[in-house]
Structure 1
């Protein structure tokens, strides 16, 4: 029913654009063929040039069918601030791996972009096999990149089997992702659902994500983010970090994660920083109304992140973590330690607030546990497992 309503909405908007003074451009009119083989990249670029160059609101339309697109790099600024892309069909990435210098579909320097519907099939299986075999692989391609843009809406998009990240929001502001569906197998490496970095005022709502890495990850310079109504799993959970891997990374602040469900994920609500002395911060984070089902690490702050034990053993994280609240987090943990705050000796976690935490270990005969190291905070309501703050 939802798919029918979305299709009806797209049809109505398309008819509206076609019958008014707004400009509408169908990629088929520029030579694209829905055969899944003929490269439609040139047709897409021509349609973009026409729409972006229009002085009035403009629309690009991708009809039903399978369109092979070797690469789509779409750049502004546009002459209008209402360029819309309506996709009824499926865009197919190249069948090999490592093309496009790490990016497949990219929009940059655009103000007022909207993307509705459609499917992006990243066909990342060859890249996953290369990584799994530990070969010398090229850079994995991100399926959709929003770069240095503002006032962007992505609604009803489906992303499948990306080589690397499914969606990257970089250096942008005012980006909303609504009712997206993002999927890759749980064994697919580094296929983060949505990655946010150096961006502010980002909203992700009513979205389903299941991948081989973080469902949503927030890197350095992320601020004023609202994440709500997310179903995550499989994957590595909803993560802030990793931070502090290099000198000079900006901090992360004002993050709200609300009304989320995590299903069998490696982590639940996670903050992770490298065990390096580089300065930085994570502050003003609210985790609220979260349901965990067989999650390995439901609540975790890890300031001793050091994969491979290279360059950081024995060092202390310089990232200051403060004012982090967890309220109404409940469900089951797949490990005994359901709440873990492993913080920095030089920059202890402060201002951690726990309220109404109800997490149980899957083994009914063994109670769940908490672990604290260099962490200070407060508790209220019912706390299970008992707090170690």
Structure 2
């Protein structure tokens, strides 16, 4: 028991849990970092839970299961001296950041000199979660099953106890951790205890609750209960001493007056945090209608700076779940310098007339996932800036808006390549574009876009459903003196069907100096007012498989 308590004291990590028949759960390779820097690995285990245990752990299961494809589950505090201050970053979220800033980014947690990753041999992609365990895993699962069965029946003899000692310690430890995590291992910080009251400003209360929670040495949760509150600009940052959660169930209103936000880039900021969760049934209302009327930033370089609803910067192994972002003055969500950040069941909405209200914009980040979300805005539902890598967009409904976009790219110096995007099982409704890649001509920027894959997508009355536009130049802000120097390779569009609002369903307009390579079009079935659609290619020779609109010159 002493050893169990010691492990529990040192243990905190993220567990991948999977429901099986007979109320069974699997824990996939839990990597833990102790309070004194000790790291322990619990191998895959199977634990039989009765109905009461299942109910006890349902919150843990819901919280933890979405770390399924995170590659690094180590908890590590990052001090401010190792992170670049956001004050040095460009206010334009599309603009790349200085190379000196990027050199300071540490988006991976080191696990000793050997760089050991206990999950490197596990395939935890959502499409392969149900893969069979190997023979060693099955043997271990059988031993765990027998051990717990014998324990319940009271027939475990001394020989079995001796043989199963190590298995018992690991399994029992994991079981106790799961059972106690929510009930005993999370310390609550309710903003009402810090003076927050309905229909009043809670900026100070939330700030103070965060400071105490972030300083907690055990996992903590800041709670904003159901009610309507006002909130000024707030910057909630780490590093924190343990995993931290903010649960918002109320409605939070931003100031309507632009001057009350002092021209800041984001209204609500979360920065420099490991194992952070923002969840709840709450709504963050940017009250942006007044701001949209003053938004002339596309034409006026000296325009008023409009704030975004959220800024998530330098978050590792974190989750944003069930939150609603409404009527942001600018972008709803800006993601910068993050690693293993997952959005689940997000609701983002603003009218189609709201200018520049991108849903989620990602830049200089790795392994960002967006699952099961609804996004409707006046601009891109999801957009990727430079330096975005290993991005997954699964089961997202987009519309109204400008579609799902890579770019725009090539406008600013020091841009980094964009690599690895999967968009799958998504639906786009009444959007100005479908899935597109856009780069600027007339600039000397040299970079690349590669491994872009769009699959199983439904279009409903979508203009320009499939588009590569390497002559992107809104409001005539560029010259076409020379073509884009962004190289696009390894792009696929598969099983895309539905209705187009334009007769041209596919336009691949690639750069004349850097033609697109390795482009595949596979089973594209789109109609326009019941008639056939067309496809047009420039500076690329795509591989064509299955059904395709009529190709025109």
Deviations for 1:21-74, whole angstroms, at most 9, x for unmatched residues? 531100111111111xx2211111100000101111001000010111101101
Q: Match of 2:445?
A: 278
Cα 1:311–1:356, aligned 2, differ >3 Å: closer, same or farther? closer
Q: Match of 2:266?
A: 103
CA distance in 2, matches of 1:295, 1:341: 16
Q: 1:295 aligns with which of 437, 441, 462?
A: 462
CA distance in 1, matches of 2:342, 2:489: 27
Deviations for 1:317-371, whole angstroms, at most 9, x for unmatched residues? 0000000000000111111111000110000011110111101112x3x531111
Q: Match of 2:92?
A: none
Q: 2:481 aligns with which of 296, 299, 314?
A: 314
Q: Match of 1:51?
A: 213
Cα 1:66–1:9, aligned 2, differ >3 Å: closer, same or farther? farther
Q: Would you say the 8 A contact 1:221–1:250 is kept in 2? A: yes
Superposition pairs of residues 1-389 of structure 1, within 5 angstroms: 20-35=184-199, 38-80=200-242, 82-97=243-258, 99-100=261-262, 101-117=264-280, 118-131=282-295, 137-275=303-441, 276-362=443-529, 364=530, 366-383=531-548, 385-387=549-551
Q: Would you say the 8 A contact 1:17–1:24 is kept in 2? A: no
More strand by share: 1
CA distance in 2, matches of 1:152, 1:138: 32
CA distance in 1, matches of 2:440, 2:182: 53
Q: Would you say the 8 A contact 1:182–1:211 is kept in 2? A: yes
Deviations for 1:152-174, whole angstroms, at most 9, x for unmatched residues? 10110111000011111111110
Of 173-182 and 123-132, deviating more is 123-132
TM-score (norm 2): 0.65
CA distance in 2, matches of 1:191, 1:344: 28
CA root-mean-square deviation:
2.1
Moved over 4 A (4+): 16-19, 132-137
Cα 1:303–1:25, aligned 2, differ >3 Å: closer, same or farther? same
Q: CA deviation at 1:314?
A: 2.7
Count of matched residue pairs: 373
Q: Would you say the 8 A contact 2:295–2:304 is kept in 1? A: no
Q: Match of 1:3?
A: none
Q: Would you say the 8 A contact 1:205–1:228 is kept in 2? A: yes
Gaps of at least 5 residues in structure 1 are 1-7
Of 291-300 and 131-140, deviating more is 131-140
Q: Would you say the 8 A contact 1:18–1:24 is kept in 2? A: no
Partner of 2:193, secondary structure, is helix
Of 26-35 and 183-192, deviating more is 26-35
CA distance in 1, matches of 2:268, 2:286: 10
Q: Match of 1:5?
A: none
Q: Match of 2:90?
A: none
Gaps of at least 5 residues in structure 2 are 1-57, 64-179
CA distance in 2, matches of 1:17, 1:44: 24
Q: CA deviation at 1:277?
A: 3.3
Q: Would you say the 8 A contact 2:296–2:303 is kept in 1? A: no
CA distance in 2, matches of 1:368, 1:356: 13
Cα 1:310–1:167, aligned 2, differ >3 Å: closer, same or farther? closer
Q: Would you say the 8 A contact 1:277–1:316 is kept in 2? A: no
Partner of 1:138, secondary structure, is coil
CA distance in 2, matches of 1:260, 1:357: 15
CA distance in 2, matches of 1:83, 1:349: 44
Deviations for 1:108-135, whole angstroms, at most 9, x for unmatched residues? 1001100112110010011011127988
CA distance in 1, matches of 2:183, 2:535: 62
Cα 1:53–1:338, aligned 2, differ >3 Å: closer, same or farther? same
CA distance in 2, matches of 1:252, 1:239: 12
Q: CA deviation at 1:17?
A: 7.8
Q: Would you say the 8 A contact 1:165–1:194 is kept in 2? A: yes
Q: Would you say the 8 A contact 1:302–1:342 is kept in 2? A: yes
